[in-house]
Homo-oligomer: A and B are copies of this chain.
Amino acid sequence: MQMSETEKRKILARLKTIEGHVRGVQRMVDEDQYCIDVIRQTQAIQRALEKFNALILENHLNTCVTTAIRSENADERERVVTEIMDVFETAGKL
């Protein structure tokens, strides 16, 4: 990753929040809270992880992908495109 220290700190703060959120769901399960509320909290974590991934991907496009596409190395260019397509495919639903 090519990222400024400020951006990295922000990204890490997001992950810390997500970690706390996961612990919150553990508490909910432990306290036998209502299933649907547990699912909703977990879906909120999913959205936070998507937002996190979107930030990493955007950074990736603006740094590594840009460098690869501007290079004369056709293999490199092909590799970055394949990687992005794989990420989309794993994500499912385009």
A residues contacting B by CB (< 8 A) are 1-3, 8, 11-12, 15-16, 18-19, 22-23, 25-26, 29-30, 32-36, 38-40, 42-43, 45-46, 49-50, 52-54, 56-66, 69-70, 77, 81, 83-94
Number of copies: 4
B90 in contact with A43 (CB, 8 Å): yes
CB neighbours (8 Å) of A11 from chain B are: 29
A49 in contact with B45 (CB, 8 Å): yes
Q: Enumerate the 5 nearest inter-chain pairs by beta-carbon distance, A residue then B residue, closest first.
A: A35-B60, A92-B92, A53-B94, A93-B93, A69-B69
Main secondary structure of the interface of A (DSSP, over half): helix
CB neighbours (8 Å) of A19 from chain B are: 19, 22-23, 26
